[in-house]
Amino acid sequence: MSTSTAAGAMPAKTYVSIGQIKPLGAKLDEIPDAGGGCSSHGGEGKASCGSSGGPDDMPSEIWDKVKNHPCYSEEAHHHYARMHVAVAPACNIQCNYCNRKYDCSNESRPGVVSQKLTPEQAVKKVVAVASEIPQMTVLGVAGPGDSLANPKKTFDTFRMLQEQAPDIKLCISTNGLALPDHVDEICKYNVDHVTITINMVDPAVGEKIYPWIFWDHKRVTGYEAAKILHERQMLGLEMLTARGVLTKINSVLIPGINDEHLIEVNREVKKRGAFLHNIMPLISEAEHGTVFGLTGQRGPTAQELKAVQDACMGGANLMRHCRQCRADAVGLLGEDRSEEFTLDKIEQMEVVYDLDRRRAYQDRVETERQAQHEAKQEALAAAGAIEVADDLKVLVAVATKGGGRVNEHFGHVTEFQIFEVSAREALFVGHRRVDLYCQGGFGDDEQLPSVVKAINDCHAVLVAKIGGCPRDELLQAGIEPVDQYVNEFIEKAALDWFNDYRGRIASGAVVHQDRGDAQIRQGAFTGAAQAA
Ligand code: CLF
Ligand code: SF4
């Protein structure tokens, strides 16, 4: 197999392309409703409330659980932060995309080894972060190994934290092997959010991903290992659903191994009550030293990832804003403030855990969020009233530094948000990480080709400002730079641009052409990468 998609061309062989996959929605009639997901908890028949849903899409007790969890609510991730504590070093399985020298790639990008913590150190760190970042609402244990292969450390951390900071939501991520043994404890500590990484529901697929598991005091390999893992994952998921715990399924898309199979995974986890399904691209480079990295197994392109995600629409609700964060990540998704909170720095900090201050801050966040939500609904409602005969849809990249607005300079972007726009709606469909173009006040033209590749499937890029050189290069690549919607809400700006674009097509001023594929940036998102 070819090596992974390093700088340059798209892979010679594509496994998945739009149009080749049968959408899952078509098969929904065959799926018995097992009482899971928000649509089956009284979601009024809406098939896709998921992480993009709001209070009108789900029962209030579910909304209360997700409204300020940045991973379970797409809207919340613009406003609320999470942090991970690396208290779980051991793992009970081996994944071919993991190298134990690095963090667990189920929930974190390989790249930088975490500072491993004892539960006492972890709790101290959480309280310190919570006193500095009042919008930090969720503590997750996501490695660097498996949270439930280290149950004592994981649950000791939760127990002590609940005593000191009861307002912080608890979250874990696990490969699922040990999950059924710990459901009681998960409920005892009010862990309301559990992520299970499920990459297959067929052991024949699983044995290509997992060389071994450690089970019943011995190492089990091959098909048998994958079969045990699969059965434990399904059992654990069913048990959590029965106890009312919200579950999210993470799946790593591995081209040629489980790409189309993930549609089956989506169907099976929906049946068992999963709240969300997060399909993530495989990160695979030889320098990570993983089996897949060393054997040249590549990750998916942006369009391959989107094709599988789109094919799952109508099944278990999708999360599309995952940042594959590190096991010691701190901050909003997509930012990494872990360097500010190393153990030695915490020792120097004056820590005051002020619950009232946290609540007051979060009240202000809610007011701002409400304004954004209303502006978005207004823009979508206005667009919904437009009658159009065709179903033209395009992708646009948006430069934003938050607040749901077009407010970032092209040169300062480390991550574009991607929206799929039609005459009636502008839907968030993901993000694309890029290397910073502006270095120390000057544009670095060597970075431009990689930025263009990352958004090459987009027709336009909405920015607050852009220099002459990148503007020309984007135009040459067929991507329209748009800087006339500065500070506008993204959905409104995207819809206005799209309607203008349609007008230009109708008048003959432009000829609409399909775009190509785009590249998913491989490599760690670290503070260093951000500042580089
Ligand atoms: Fe952490 Fe995971 Fe909880 Fe979120 S992350 S344990 S559910 S608090 Fe979130 Fe990070 Fe994606 Fe995970 S963006 S890798 S989905
Ligand atoms: Fe690595 Fe996580 Fe897989 Fe364990 S579950 S092998 S830590 S990726």
DSSP 367-433: HHHHHHHHHHHHHHHHHHT---SS---EEEEE---STTB---BGGG-SEEEEEEE-SS-EEEEEEEE
In percent, how much of the chain has pLDDT > 70? 82
Q: Which of 108, 146, 172 to mutate to test the pocket of ligand 2 (most atoms within 8 A of CB)?
A: 146
Spatial separation of the C-alpha atoms in residues 275 and 180, rounded to whole Å: 18
Q: How many A from CA of 440 to the centre of ligand 1?
A: 32
pLDDT the model gives residue 347: 81
User: What does the alpha-carbon distance between residue 484 and residue 521 come to, in Å, rounded to a whole number?
Assistant: 28
Neighbours of 120 (CB within 10 A): 12
Domains (ranges, CATH) in the chain?
Answer: 18-41+383-531 (3.30.420.130), 50-344 (3.20.20.70)
Q: Which atom of ligand 1 is nearest to the CA of 108?
A: 14
Identify the residue whose C-alpha is closest to ligand 1 atom 12: 107
Neighbours of 157 (CB within 10 A): 27
- Mean pLDDT confidence for 229-244: 97
**150 is written with which tokens?**
């280290």
How many Cβ atoms are within 10 Å of 245's Cβ, its own excluded? 20
Asked whether the predicted pLDDT for residue 276 surpasses 70, the reply is: yes
DSSP annotation of 366 reads H
Whether pLDDT at 496 is above 70? yes
pLDDT surpassing 50 at residue 249:
yes
Ligand 1: which residue has its CA nearest to atom 8?
A: 140
The pLDDT assigned to 384 comes to 65
Which of 39-43, 185-189, 300-304, 507-511 shows the lowest per-residue confidence on average (mean pLDDT)?
A: 39-43
Evaluate: CB of 173 within 6 angstroms of ligand 1: yes
Ligand 1 neighbour 325 (Cβ under 6 A): yes
Would you say residue 174 has pLDDT above 90? yes
Indicate whether residue 140 lines ligand 1 (CB < 6 A).
Answer: yes
At 212, list the tokens. Answer: 């071994």
Q: Please give the average per-residue pLDDT across 89-115, as a whole number.
A: 68
User: Which ligand sits nearest to residue 229's alpha carbon?
Assistant: 2
Among 84, 87, 92, 93, the mutation site with the greatest number of ligand 2 atoms within 8 A of its Cβ is: 93
- Residue 40 is predicted with a pLDDT of 29
23 exposed, middle or buried (CB, 10 Å; 0-12, 13-18, 19+)?
A: middle
Give the model's pLDDT for residue 442: 64
Q: Measured in angstroms, how far is the CA atom of residue 105 from the centroid of ligand 2? A: 6
The number of the ligand nearest the C-alpha atom of 280 reads: 1
- Burial (CB < 10 A; 0-12, 13-18, 19+), residue 511, is exposed
Determine whether the shortest distance from the Cβ of 249 to ligand 1 is under 6 A.
no
Residue 142 CB–ligand 2 contact under 6 Å: no
Query: Residue 522 has what pLDDT?
Result: 66
- Please tell me the predicted confidence (pLDDT) of residue 133: 87
Query: Could you give the C-alpha distances from 330 to 163, 214, 361, 433, 527, in angstroms and in order?
Result: 21, 31, 18, 18, 11
Sign of the torsion formed by the C-alpha atoms of 82, 83, 87 and 89:
positive
Ligand nearest to the CA of 99: 2
Q: Which atom of ligand 1 is nearest to the CA of 70?
A: 4
pTM for this entry: 0.84
Encode pLDDT of 458-485 as tens digits.
Answer: 999 999 999 888 899 999 999 999 999 9
Is any ligand 1 atom within 6 A of the Cβ of residue 76? no
Which residue puts its alpha carbon closest to atom 5 of ligand 2? 175
Q: Which ligand is nearest to the CA of 104?
A: 2
Tokens of 77: 């991730």
- Ligand 1 atom nearest to CA at 248: 7
Q: Ligand 1 within 6 A of 171 CB? A: yes
Contacts of 2 (CB under 8 A, 6+ apart): 11, 12, 13, 296, 298
User: Which ligand 1 atom is at minimum distance from the Cα of 321?
Assistant: 13
